Amino acid sequence: MLQIDHVVKTFTGVTAVNDISIAVARGEVFGFLGPNGAGKTTTLRMIMNIIQPDSGKITIDGVPSTRCDHGRIGYLPEERGVYQKAKVRDVVEYFAKLKSVPAPEAKERAGLWFSRLQISDLADKKVFELSKGNQQKIQFMIAVINDPTLMILDEPFTGLDPVNQNILQRIISEFREQGRTVILSTHQMAKVEENCDNMCLIHRGGIVAYGKTQEIMAKHGGRLDKAFIELVEDKHE
For residue range 63-106, list pLDDT tens digits in order. Answer: 988 888 877 899 999 887 777 889 999 999 999 998 999 999 99
Would residue 61 count as lying in a domain? Answer: yes
Question: What is the C-alpha to C-alpha distance for residues 172 and 68, in angstroms, rounded to an integer?
Answer: 23
Would residue 130 count as lying in a domain? Answer: no
Instruction: Give CA 30 to chain center in angstroms.
Output: 9
pTM above 0.85, yes or no: yes
Please tell me the predicted confidence (pLDDT) of residue 222: 75
Number of domains in the chain: 1
Would residue 56 count as lying in a domain? Answer: yes
Domain limits for position 204: 1-23+38-68+188-215+224-229
Question: What is the C-alpha to C-alpha distance for residues 232 and 237, in angstroms, rounded to an integer?
Answer: 9
* 209 DSSP β-pair partners: 201
Q: What is the CATH number of the domain that holds 58?
A: 3.40.50.300
Question: What is the C-alpha to C-alpha distance for residues 29 and 182, in angstroms, rounded to an integer?
Answer: 5
For residue range 96-150, list pLDDT tens digits in order. Answer: 998 999 999 999 999 999 999 999 999 999 999 999 999 999 999 999 999 999 9
Would residue 194 count as lying in a domain? Answer: yes
Would residue 3 count as lying in a domain? Answer: yes
Instruction: Give how far Cα 74 sits from Cα of 6, 102, 124, 161, 182, Å.
Output: 24, 17, 24, 23, 9
Query: Crossing angle of helices 132-144/162-177, nearest 10°?
Result: 10
At 64, the amino acid letter reads P
Whole-number mean pLDDT of the chain? 90
Please tell me the predicted confidence (pLDDT) of residue 219: 82
**138: helix, coil or strand?**
helix
Would residue 48 count as lying in a domain? Answer: yes
Would residue 109 count as lying in a domain? Answer: no
DSSP 8-state symbol, 126: B
Determine the average pLDDT of the residues in 43-71. Answer: 90
Roughly how many angstroms between the first and final C-alpha of the chain, as a whole number? 35
